[in-house]
Amino acid sequence: MKKVFKTEDLDCANCATKMERAIAKISGVTFANVNFMAQKLTVEADDAIFDDVMKEVVKVCKKIEPDCRIIL
Span 2-71 CATH architecture: 2-Layer Sandwich (3.30)
What integer pLDDT is reported at residue 72 of this predicted model?
87
Average pLDDT over the chain, rounded to an integer: 96
| DSSP β-bridge partners for residue 14 | none
The pLDDT of residue 28 is above 90: yes
Give the pLDDT score at 8: 96
Residue 42's identity, in one-letter code, is T
* Greatest Cα pair distance in the chain: 32
